[in-house]
A and B are shown apart, each in its own frame.
Chain A
């Protein structure tokens, strides 16, 4: 420490601990000031960078998958050519293609029917990445600020001929956005039973469990609520339009000392099978 002051010597001696404390302090401040515009901005820039990369990788992987599929088809075709079965092979190839096209057509028709069947202005989106961690359940879609996506816009999906609530836009990047699904423990949706009209609050039960719970349902509803009953958005939180399907009653329980029922719901949307969603840009 020749030529250095005592303070500099001290800093040098404890540099590891000081650096760690500094970085921990920065992290703590970020947690503490979460949600404020000044802190959210770097996260959005990071999101834009990462999601662009994710979009590219998803595209490349899908492209490689197609190449492998095409390559294996070519190998098959060659074998059949050698066996002098060119015509049969060609027909088989066409048939496969037709089946694939039929599947794609059915999916697109389903999406189109959904879009025309709902009174909302919808923006279709594809899921390009899912959260790497276990605690958060968010996923990234390929539509962002440039396509008109805004924070807190509801996200829905069409599955098995019904449309249901998926979640809301949590963060908007330039061309991608992060969706916070209703499965998330920090999501709360004002809801009511479709038949009995009793109201409550639906929230997630954790990141990866495909289950929801409904709280603050009056105990007198116990006689009118049954297993399998549908729960829809009530529209009272002014975030989600009224009448969007959320889930079905899976179990009902009540403790003597509590004034409300404990209701577990099964979401109408199968999140593990979700590939496409739609952002509600304008409700009627």
Chain B
């Protein structure tokens, strides 16, 4: 359980730092593809419930550190997603295009809706229009464009890790 968790966390943190620095050049009207979100969904759906949930919590916490926003906000959203996605392990057959697109679309909708609900429950001062606006549509499109590429890279690394039998993301917990 520890190995896939650590590997997953390593890749997610790497992507997170890249997303806040070099990835800014790809922003359209200030919106960029959410690489961390999409990659997390791919990782979580390939792991069991406990590593996925822990991975979600740690990734969310890291996002909370880096955003300067409400502490616990991303941790809550990603933990819940990790728990749900962990139950889907082995139940989804991944093709190179359709499933990554569906999962990225679902991830974008989930992140927005969960964020809005959390903001409403905890009175975080965010309104409906802060979540559901032009940026949301643009983020959805960018995530859909990025999803097959992220999937291809993730799949290649995962296959290599599985072949070497020294790690990877599919180790049973």
Contacts and interface: CB of A to CB of B under 8 A. Distances in A.
B110 to A, nearest CB: 13
Interface residues of A, number: 54
Given A26-B75, A28-B72, A208-B135, A132 B118 contact: no
Contacts of B79: 20, 23-24, 27
A148 to B, nearest CB: 19
A236 B164 CA distance: 65
Nearest to A169: B68
A32 interface: yes
B71 A132 contact: no
A53 B17 contact: yes
Given A129-B21, A207-B130, A16 B50 contact: yes
Interface residues of B, number: 57
B156 interface: no
Interface in B37-85: 49-50, 53-54, 56-57, 60-76, 79-80, 82-83
Interface string A37-62: 00110110011011101100110010
A246 interface: no
B72 A34 contact: yes
Q: Which of A30, A135, A209 has the most CB of B within 10 A?
A: A135
Interface string A168-188: 001100000010100001100
A134 B135 contact: yes
A72 B42 CA distance: 38
B21 A50 contact: no
B42 to A, nearest CB: 17
Contact of A135 (B19, B75, B126, B134): B126
Interface string A5-43: 000000000011001100110111111101000011011
Contacts of A28: 72, 76, 122
Contacts of B125: 185-186
B93 interface: no
Interface of B: prevailing SS: helix
A130 B69 CA distance: 12
A129 B65 contact: no
B30 to A, nearest CB: 4
A54 B14 CA distance: 10
B154 interface: no
A209 B36 contact: no
Interface in A181-208: 185-186, 205-208
A271 interface: yes
B68 A129 contact: no
B159 interface: no
A272 interface: yes
Interface in B107-132: 115, 118, 122, 124-127, 129-131
Contacts of A132: 16, 19-20, 34, 36, 63, 66-67
Interface in A78-124: none
A262 interface: no
Nearest to B79: A23
A128 B74 CA distance: 22
A12 to B, nearest CB: 12
Minimum-distance CB pairs A-B, first 6: A46-B65, A30-B72, A178-B68, A208-B30, A27-B76, A31-B72
Interface of B: 16-22, 24, 27, 29-31, 34, 36, 49-50, 53-54, 56-57, 60-76, 79-80, 82-83, 86, 115, 118, 122, 124-127, 129-131, 133-136, 139
